[in-house]
Amino acid sequence: MTLDLPRRGLLMLLMAWGLTQGNPVKPSRGPLLTCTCESPHCRGPTCQGTWCTVVLVREEGRHPQEHRGCGNLNEELCRGRPTEFVNHYCCYSPLCNHNVSLVLEATQIPPEQPKVDGQLPLILGPVLAVVALVALGALGLWHVRRRQEKQRGLRSELGESSLILKSSEQGDSMLGDLLDSDCTTGSGSGLPFLVQRTVARQVALVECVGKGRYGEVWRGLWHGESVAVKIFSSRDEQSWFRETEIYNTVLLRHDNILGFIASDMTSRNSSTQLWLITHYHEHGSLYDFLQRQTLEPQLALKLAVSAACGLAHLHVEIFGTQGKPAIAHRDLKSRNVLVKSNLQCCIADLGLAVMHSQGSDYLDIGNNPRVGTKRYMAPEVLEEQIRTDCFESYKWTDIWAFGLVLWEIARRTIVNGIVEDYRPPFYDVVPNDPSFEDMKKVVCVDQQTPTIPNRLAADPVLSGLAQMMRECWYPNPSARLTALRIKKTLQKLSNGLEKSKVIH
């Protein structure tokens, strides 16, 4: 399933067509300003940054919302013109954003008809009513035709395709109208490359919602609707390329896999940026969600079942024209599982994924020097005894990591009024950023696994969840559960919980 060198070159050429390459611009190292901070991501009333910002955003069907905060990267946003959806303002003195108010670009309103005084309206009333009806009919017909022409133009501009995004949830207005899973790059989930580039150029960045070693995640707006933009750091270029390759060669449309929109290499302010544009989920990652939220058993199982459905879909090979190879994730953790608005999970970040097809018996490992997250590594990985030529070995490491994600969910589940604070796996035996050797000692030498909360044993349903974790952590990789077995068992536990609620 991998791309040969000529196809890789073509992919890079199409992504970069029309762009000017350059060195990444580093953020200013001057003194930081104190700015007013008013947004869902603020940790206090003020923040510190290279400049202060005010962003006014209007999403489809909502009133405009104003956010205040600090800026350190992407200063080119400060120079953008206001649109009817977003206005981005920057200033460069302490608290300069405190009393600033912005407006969006006004939409043109047709001038009102001048009022007519005297007896003339009584005489011309019936005539004007008929004229008005004719005018309204003509205006409606013109509006319908104009909309059809716009849609035809958009299809032409985007490669004669009405597909922009694949909406997996009800109620997506423009996204839902434009989505149709029939038009992709042949066998993949992605749009034609030039279409992806066109979509990427239409996205306006609004606010940074996450940072890490990989780069940053921004919330962006595309035609007034939110999308997520993952901007990769230059040192993680292989992860961007791998995700782009997988999404464009594999049919991965599934409710519990993060929805892909576009991938693009863009030049902004003389720096080259690698973008991956996906569906936006405002709850953020499961890691973030569990820190904010305690869980009733029903919600805990809903999160677990949906994540297991996503993993099972990755692991299974599907044959036929709408098929897909088997995929192992290799970096499964709560930070790479997102929580959707319907409180189901979807799996993200395929930068380390491995693909395998039984027909050709070809194992596509990719070419990424990055390794997975040490805290979630299985013992055979830490001991460097994993069979790298065997695809099943990679699936078994995913199962180990999935057991740790289940443990994170279980800690935050309320049983008999008792719940624990969020903690990452092995929090009590390794430091915050454990080394390879730290994890090897705990997992391989001491053969420790996370302590399962005792209160789960008191619940007939959640005790099954505890047993499942143990079966994910067998030292012998081949003895661990399969993703399909985990999915079916969790569904059975969830159904059992529903029935017990009905009885009570």
**Residues known to be catalytic:** 331
The sign of the CA dihedral 425, 426, 428, 430 is negative
In three-state secondary structure terms, 98 is coil
What gap in Å lies between CA 504 and CA 502, rounded to an integer? 6
Alpha helices in 293-370 (DSSP H): 297-315
Q: Yes or no: say if 433 and 414 are a contact pair by the CB < 8 Å rule.
A: no
In three-state secondary structure terms, 225 is strand
The sign of the CA dihedral 126, 128, 131, 136 is negative
Among 400, 396, 253, residue whose Cα is nearest residue 318: 253
Q: Yes or no: say if 48 and 69 are a contact pair by the CB < 8 Å rule.
A: no
Number of other residues whose CB lies within 10 A of the CB of residue 60: 14
What gap in Å lies between CA 449 and CA 397, rounded to an integer? 15
For residue 224, what are the contacts with CB-CB under 8 A and spacing of at least 6?
58, 59, 60, 84, 85, 174
Q: Yes or no: say if 477 and 295 are a contact pair by the CB < 8 Å rule.
A: no
User: Position of tokens 């690698």?
Assistant: 274
What gap in Å lies between CA 323 and CA 347, rounded to an integer? 19
Q: Yes or no: say if 283 and 388 are a contact pair by the CB < 8 Å rule.
A: no
Burial category of 392 from C-beta neighbours within 10 Å (exposed 0-12, middle 13-18, buried 19 and up): middle
Specify the DSSP class assigned to residue 42. -
Q: Yes or no: say if 35 and 97 are a contact pair by the CB < 8 Å rule.
A: yes
For residue 443, what are the contacts with CB-CB under 8 A and spacing of at least 6?
377, 378, 379, 382, 426, 449
230 is in an annotated binding site: yes
Q: Yes or no: say if 271 and 22 are a contact pair by the CB < 8 Å rule.
A: yes
What gap in Å lies between CA 402 and CA 378, rounded to an integer? 11
For the annotated binding site for ATP, the residues are: 230
For the annotated binding site, the residues are: 230
